[in-house]
Amino acid sequence: MIKQKNVNFHYHPSGEELHSWLIDLFPINRSISGEGQFLTLQYIKNKLKALKIKSFKSNDTAFDWTAPEIWNVKEAYVIDNFGNKIIDFRKNNLHLVGYSVPINEIMSREKLIPHLHTIEKLPEAIPYVTSYYKKNWGFCVSYNQYKTLGNGPFKVVIDSSFEKGDIQYGELLIKGSTKNEILLSTYICHPSMANDNLSGPVILMGIVKWLMSFENRRYTYRIIFIPETIGSIFYIKNNLNKLKKYVKAGLVLTCLGDELNYSYLCTRNGESNIDRVAKKLLKDLNVKHSIYPFTKNGSDERQFCFPGIDLPIGSLMKSKYGEFKEYHTSLDNLDFVTPKGLKDGFNLISSAITMLETNLKYKITTLCEPQLGKRGLYPQSSELGSEAMVRDQMNVIAYLDGEHDVLDISEKCQLDYLKTLEIIDKLKGSQLIIEI
């Protein structure tokens, strides 16, 4: 955790607390619309009272897109010719292809097979499949189960409904001392999977509580819990001018709860402030990590960074979606995401925010070097490590020209960001520098 002087943090979620929220939300059958989305937003609002639940309507258009109808499911199952319910949506909501149209039919094995999805190389796993914009139906089963299906005939029932209505999302603004904004976005549209994507909403809930316990914040925080893709497209359409004017950096929060890796997906520009912060943070953390170019994108940064939108939004993750074998399967579960993984994910995001908050420009007030000894900033030569300390301090001072920000200076001086900040804080305390 990066510490910031003059700021008291009152709230830090434990990994267990974050994990308990994830356990609560896990069973809900989420999709890009419908009851699961409503229940998820209600749960989040219960923890974050200031959350505003907003909506756009089915059949409304945003740019090239039309919002889909609201999808709900009462039940979905397959019964074999012995009367056994062999596939049941109630046992695992991944069994049903998202946005499946209703069906109630007795059919042959040959007719059923093209509607079954399975992963041969992960025989235990139920895959996650959706068909939002093409009317279809289907079931997902583990390869092990697929092999034991029998010859049929099968009774196939999907009691789903489509109707016009509201597609909901959550929004929360946390005011800072400036109108400049940091956008933090996550999605709330995946059914029972933990890393992709419940770790995102859960960490964002923790981050909101943490941000609200700051004594002061430089940035205003725009927090959104949206259905992926369609949600970000509508959000951008409804807020484009504000976003373009005020958003200075942002992150899509997802895949933040495993213990395998750390990752950063760059913005399309690749050199914006958030790119610099994320890369430096991962370097300073001294953990195994991967930096991905924008071409490896896969979430709402696609919309936020689109030509003409061009918001500086990247994605800091633990293991990136698509890069872990459990991704989009039933193996992405409550064991794969751990309290420790979530706590590390929280620390990653909160550290990036702290860097954004503190990455300022300062100017030294003296011409030629300040006399450090008379200010108690020059250690006794006998002190251990004092030579390196003096060197670091002088190097930092040399770049306090009002042109370089803290991040630039830490890189020029080959210092950790935190160490650089510590030196600057000391100089600030001696009234040797002014903020630009």
Q: How far is the CB of 251 from Zn ion (least distance, A)?
A: 16
Q: Transcribe 147-205 into DSSP letters.
A: HT--S--EEEEEEEEEE--EEEEEEEEE--SSS-EEEEEEE---SS-IIIIIHHHHHHH
Distance CA 417, CA 412 (A): 11
- Comparing every residue's Cβ against Zn ion, the nearest one is 196
For residues 107 to 146, the per-residue mask of contacts with Zn ion, x marking binding by CB under 5 A and - elsewhere, is: ----------------------------------------
Number of residues that bind Zn ion (CB under 5 A): 1
List own/partner pairs for 138-142 with CB under 8 A and 24 or more apart.
138/96, 138/97, 138/100, 139/76, 139/78, 139/87, 139/95, 139/96, 139/97, 139/115, 140/94, 140/95, 140/96, 140/97, 140/116, 141/87, 141/95, 141/116, 141/117, 142/118, 142/330
Per the omega criterion (within 30 degrees of 0), is the bond before 201 cis?
no
At residue 391, the 3 state secondary structure works out as helix
Q: Which is nearer to Zn ion, 128 or 214 (CB)?
A: 128
> Of 254 and 358, which has the nearer Cβ to Zn ion?
254
Of 115-123, 190-198, 344-352, 418-426, which segment contacts Zn ion by CB under 5 A? Answer: 190-198
Query: At closest approach, how far in Å is the CB of 197 from Zn ion?
Result: 6
C-beta of 112 vs 337, nearer to Zn ion: 337
The least distance separating Zn ion from the CB of residue 292, rounded to whole angstroms, comes to 16
Q: Which is nearer to Zn ion, 34 or 176 (CB)?
A: 34
Q: How far apart are the C-alpha atoms of 117 and 111, rounded to whole Å?
A: 13
Q: Outline where DSSP puts E strands in 318-367.
A: 361-364
Phi then psi dihedrals of residue 361, to 5 deg: -110, 140
Q: C-beta of 189: minimal distance to Zn ion in Å?
A: 8
With CA atoms as reference, report the closest residue to 71 among 159, 163, 134, 138.
163
* Residue from 196, 332, 344, 357 binding Zn ion (CB under 5 A): 196
Within 46-65, the residues that bind Zn ion by CB under 5 A are none
Q: Which is nearer to Zn ion, 200 or 206 (CB)?
A: 200
Query: Least CB distance from residue 326 to Zn ion, whole Å?
Result: 12
Looking up tokens 């002088």 gives 394
357 binds Zn ion per the rule CB under 5 A: no
**Shortest Cβ 293–Zn ion spacing (Å):** 20
> Nearer Cβ to Zn ion, position 136 or 229?
229
Stretch that binds Zn ion, among 193-201, 214-222, 286-294, 399-407 (CB under 5 A): 193-201
Nearer to Zn ion, 80 or 196 (CB): 196
Q: Name the site residues for Zn ion (rule: CB under 5 A).
A: 196
